[in-house]
């Protein structure tokens, strides 16, 4: 599969970020979208009930409000997840995420660990996982699909992390 080069206004951090990283890198504003979805959905249902009453007993409305609250939280989470992913792709401002990514992956390079984790999957299966999940966040309206597989296909030159780690080791040797 040919990797498509996409020009973005901000630097690419990861073309197919792992779900755990996307959640860890969420900003407080993303949490506000999750909470807003959880509050707004039942509030809208209640407003619809006031505008056009079903004349149902109030206790019958409680399960519907709980369900819409849950669905609002899920929708808010998917929206926040997508916003966080757009920052990984460089489609929106991502200065904070660049710094976090560089610090995290440079530390892993310094420790000699694989940057994107270890896996027992074959390279073929890793490629399949990549092809199935890349840009899947754009299709959340149809199928919520997350990258839960560890693979080496992230569209970034990882040499900068190793160069930073090597530079730090040399500085430590000089100071000793």
Span 20-40, pLDDT tens digits: 999 999 999 999 999 999 999
**Predicted local distance difference test score (pLDDT) of residue 162:** 83
**Predicted local distance difference test score (pLDDT) of residue 110:** 87
Ranges of H-type helices in 25-113: 28-51, 58-89, 95-111
Q: Which range is most confident: 84-93, 125-134, 141-150, 164-173?
A: 84-93
Task: In whole angstroms, give the CA distance from residue 3 to residue 1.
Answer: 6
Task: Look at residue 175 and tell me if it is in a domain.
Answer: no
Domains held by the chain: number:
1
Task: Look at residue 56 and tell me if it is in a domain.
Answer: yes
Q: Which of 174, 175, 155, 171 is nearest to 15 (CA)?
A: 155
Task: Look at residue 90 and tell me if it is in a domain.
Answer: yes
Average pLDDT, the chain: 89
Task: Look at residue 9 and tell me if it is in a domain.
Answer: no
148 with 19: CB under 8 angstroms? yes
**Predicted local distance difference test score (pLDDT) of residue 160:** 84
- For the ranges 56-60, 99-103, 128-132, the lowest mean pLDDT is seen at 56-60
Task: Look at residue 12 and tell me if it is in a domain.
Answer: no
Task: In whole angstroms, give the CA distance from residue 85 to residue 22.
Answer: 6
Task: Look at residue 44 and tell me if it is in a domain.
Answer: yes
Domain that holds residue 154: 19-168
Task: Look at residue 48 and tell me if it is in a domain.
Answer: yes
Task: Look at residue 174 and tell me if it is in a domain.
Answer: no
pLDDT at 82 over 60: yes
């Amino acid at each position: 599969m040919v990797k498509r080069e996409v020009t973005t206004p901000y630097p690419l951090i990861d073309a197919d970020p792992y779900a755990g990283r996307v959640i860890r890198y969420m900003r407080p504003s993303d949490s506000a979208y999750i909470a807003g979805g959880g509050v707004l959905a039942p509030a809208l249902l209640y407003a619809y009930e006031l505008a056009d009453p079903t004349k149902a007993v109030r206790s019958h409305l409680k399960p519907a409000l709980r369900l819409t609250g849950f669905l609002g939280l899920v929708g808010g989470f998917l929206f926040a997840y997508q916003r966080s992913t757009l920052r990984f792709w460089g489609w929106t401002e991502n200065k904070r995420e660049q710094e976090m990514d560089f610090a995290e992956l440079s530390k892993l390079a310094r420790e000699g660990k694989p940057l994107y984790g270890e896996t027992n999957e074959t390279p073929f299966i890793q490629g399949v996982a990549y092809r199935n999940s890349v840009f899947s966040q754009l299709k959340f309206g149809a199928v919520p699909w997350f990258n839960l597989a560890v693979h080496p296909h992230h569209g970034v030159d990882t040499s900068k992390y190793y160069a930073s780690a090597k530079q730090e080791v040399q500085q430590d040797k000089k100071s000793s």
